[in-house]
Amino acid sequence: MSKKLTIAGISIIFSLLFPTITLAQSTLQDVRQNGVLKVGIRKDAAPFGYTEGDNWKGICVEGMELFRASLEKQLNRSVRLEKLETVLDESSPQGRYRSITSKRIYLECGPNTINKNSPTGTAFSLPFLYSGTYLMVKPENRLRVNPSGFLQDITIGVLGDSLTQQFIAGRYQQANQKIYQGQSGRQTAVKDAVQGKIDAFASDGILLVGEALRQGLNSNQYALIPEKPLTCITYGMIVPANDSEWKETVNNFIRNQSAQNLLERTFGPNSPLIPLSVVDQDKCI
C-alpha cells in the first residue's frame, strides 16, 4: 500500500468517526462564503430593537449596519445584513440562545445581561453598553417612593421571570409586586407607572427611557429614581461558543465603537439616553 493511499484511508476513517470536526466551519467563514450577516434583534426592547410599522429601529439596527460595513472591508466582499426577530421565550425557535445554537443567527444584539454561566453552546462578547436598575415613577410620587427605605405597601411593577423581579423581591420585601408578562409587558408597565396606576416600575434604566421615548413621552411626565442605579448591568452580544475567531471579530468591533456614539447616531446628540448611559458607565465600570 502506497504512502498516499495510506494517508487517504486515514482521512476517510477520521471523517467518518469525527464528521462534525471535519465539516465544521467558523462563522466568519460562513459570512465570507455566503455574504450574509444573520443577526437576531428583539422587537420589544427599545432602544436596542423595536419596530415602527415595517421599519426596524434601535441602536442594534444601527450598530449591526456598522458591523456589516466593517466585515465588508475585512472580507473584501459585499455583505448583506439579515435582521431576524428574537424573543425571550427559549421554548420558541426564535429564542435568543436557541437561535444561536440552531445556527439560525450568527449573533444576537440586545439587552443581554452578561452572566458567568451562559447557556450551553453560547457565549457573551465584551460589554457594549452599561445600565442599571431604576424605579420609574410619576413625578408626583417622587417623594413618597423612597428607594432608600423599605417601600412598605408600595406597589412596584416588574417583568415576570426577570432578574429585576428577583432583586426587588429581595431588596424590598415589604413592597407589593405587580407582575407584567409577555412582549407588551414593559409597554404596559411604563404606561401604568406614568399614569400612577402603580407606584413604580422597576427595570433597566436605558430600557425605561427607551420605552418612554418610543411612547412619545417627555421627561416631565416621568422620573427615574434614585439618582444612581440600584444595581449595575452589563450588556453583551450573544455569540456561539467554541468559535474564538468570530468572538474576537465581534469584540474588535465593540472595542472600536462607544455606546455614546451608537446612541447619538441613532437618536441624535440631545437624546436623554446619552447622559443616562454616561452616568451608568461611570458608576458601573
Q: 109, 49 in Cβ contact below 8 A?
A: yes
Q: For the stretch 177-212, what's the b/e string if a residue is b when 16 or more beta carbons lie within 10 angstroms of its beta carbon?
A: beebeeeebbbebbbbbbeeebbbbbbbbbbbbbbb
Average pLDDT, the chain: 91
Distance CA 280, CA 63 (A): 20
pLDDT score, position 183: 82
In what helix (H) or strand (E) does residue 59 lie, and over which residues does it extend?
Answer: helix 59-75
How many residues appear in the chain?
A: 285
Q: Could you read off the pLDDT of 30-78 as tens digits, one per residue? A: 999 999 999 999 999 999 999 999 899 999 999 999 999 999 999 999 9
pLDDT score, position 20: 42
Q: 45, 51 in Cβ contact below 8 A?
A: no
Residues of the chain with pLDDT under 50: 1-5, 7-12, 14-15, 18-23
pLDDT score, position 3: 46
**Cβ-based neighbour number of residue 233 at 10 Å:** 22
pLDDT score, position 15: 47
pLDDT score, position 24: 62
